[in-house]
């Protein structure tokens, strides 16, 4: 079954030339186009120097290879973004190496199944750390650097689960992703006069490696085709995007083309959240 369309060609054309971009979750749970990996490669193609961050050094190897294949510049830093001291140290390392942080893309996150009754309290807490506290922590440590520069762009990654029911109970994930959207809006207003823009990409149901590695086990007893079929059935455009579609939206939001865009979201979901049947 073919449910995924080949990615569109993007005119990257130096759109991020000379900028330094921290990308968290720059690896991926498997080979292929996860969101963070796609952001790292596309931003590098657009001229940014990538400071790739992931808690799993091995997961960044494919990202590093792909960035170098497109002639991009990248260095990798291992860091758990749910830990404040590690995040502080990571941001200091980027500043020490490059002297600045122009762009922050927060990409770490992922869902755990279950509504309030099914989801254990410790899983709830872990979801909040993973999906929401991680964003707060990187903003906490990057914003002072951007403030010194008088300029910066933050792009956070939410999910359509943060704005709609998307087919299964995942209460903590949904609540956290809604939190990411509102966190972005209020930080955007607070920091607007300081030249810092904050926006969110809201991806829908993508076909990223996470589907094979984690989601099919959670949702369809490991039957990947069955899961893909049920996901694509909700999408008006009739195919699933992947990390490169998220990256295209993030590239616009991170670039100076979006100089008048802050405190808002781009939904990348093939029309899924626009339908109500």
134-149 helix and 84-98 helix, angle to the nearest 10 degrees:
30
Q: Which residues are identified as catalytic? A: 173
Query: Closer CB to ligand NAD, residue 28 or residue 154?
Result: 28
Residue of closest CB approach to ligand NAD: 109
Query: Closer CB to ligand NAD, residue 149 or residue 220?
Result: 220
User: Which of the ranges 15-23, 92-100, 191-199, 201-209 carries the binding residues for ligand NAD, by CB under 6 A?
Assistant: 201-209
CB 210 within 8 A of CB 167: no
User: Which of the ranges 97-105, 143-151, 204-212, 259-267 carries the binding residues for ligand NAD, by CB under 6 A?
Assistant: 204-212
x/- map, 149-188, ligand NAD, by CB under 6 A: --------x-x-----------------------------
CB of 37 to ligand NAD, least distance (A): 8
CA angle 145, 141, 194 (to 5 degrees): 45
Q: CB-based contacts of 65: which residues, under 8 Å, 6+ apart?
A: none
Q: CA gyration radius for the chain? A: 18
Query: Closer CB to ligand NAD, residue 145 or residue 268?
Result: 268
- Which residues in 48-67 contact ligand NAD (CB under 6 A)? 54-56, 59
- Which residues in 229-258 contact ligand NAD (CB under 6 A)? 243
Closest CA to 192 of 124, 143, 125: 143
DSSP 226-267: HHHHHHHTT-TTSSB--HHHHHHHHHHHHSGGGTT--S-EEE
Query: Closer CB to ligand NAD, residue 16 or residue 137?
Result: 137
Give the tokens for residue 55. Answer: 């808690």
User: Which of the ranges 2-10, 147-155, 200-208, 253-261 carries the binding residues for ligand NAD, by CB under 6 A?
Assistant: 200-208
- Which residues in 69-108 contact ligand NAD (CB under 6 A)? 79-82, 107-108
263 binds ligand NAD (CB under 6 A): no
Give the tokens for residue 44. Answer: 């590098």
27 binds ligand NAD (CB under 6 A): yes
Closest CA to 187 of 219, 224, 156: 156
CB of 151 to ligand NAD, least distance (A): 25
Based on the number of CB atoms within 10 Å of its own CB, is 6 exposed (0-12), middle (13-18) or buried (19 or more)? exposed
CA distances from 174 to 180, 216, 249 (A): 10, 19, 21
- Residues at the interface with ligand NAD (CB under 6 A): 24-25, 27-29, 34-36, 54-56, 59, 79-82, 107-110, 157, 159, 203, 205-206, 208-210, 243
């Amino acid at each position: 079954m073919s449910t995924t369309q080949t990615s569109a060609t993007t005119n990257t054309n130096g759109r991020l030339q000379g900028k330094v971009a921290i990308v968290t979750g720059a690896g991926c749970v498997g080979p292929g186009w996860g969101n963070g990996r796609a952001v790292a490669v596309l931003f590098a193609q657009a001229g940014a120097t990538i400071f790739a961050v992931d808690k799993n050094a091995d997961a960044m190897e494919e990202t590093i290879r792909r960035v170098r294949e497109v002639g991009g510049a990248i260095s990798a830093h291992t860091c758990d973004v749910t830990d404040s001291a590690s995040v502080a140290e990571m941001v200091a390392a980027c500043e020490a190496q490059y002297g600045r942080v122009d762009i922050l893309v927060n990409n770490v996150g992922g869902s755990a199944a279950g509504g309030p009754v099914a989801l254990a309290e410790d899983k709830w807490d872990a979801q909040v750390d993973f999906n929401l506290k991680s964003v707060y922590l990187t903003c906490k440590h990057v914003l002072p650097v951007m403030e010194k520069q008088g300029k910066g762009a933050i792009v956070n990654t939410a999910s359509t689960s943060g704005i709609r029911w998307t087919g299964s109970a995942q209460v903590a994930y949904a609540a956290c992703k809604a939190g990411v959207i509102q966190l972005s809006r209020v930080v955007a207003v607070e920091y607007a006069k300081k030249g810092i823009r904050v926006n969110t990409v809201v991806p829908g149901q993508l076909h990223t490696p996470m589907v094979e590695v984690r989601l099919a086990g959670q949702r369809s007893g490991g039957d990947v085709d069955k899961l893909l079929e049920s996901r694509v059935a909700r999408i008006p455009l009739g195919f699933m995007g992947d990390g490169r579609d998220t990256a295209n939206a993030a590239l616009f939001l991170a670039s100076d083309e979006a100089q008048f865009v802050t405190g808002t979201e781009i939904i990348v979901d093939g029309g899924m959240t626009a339908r109500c049947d």
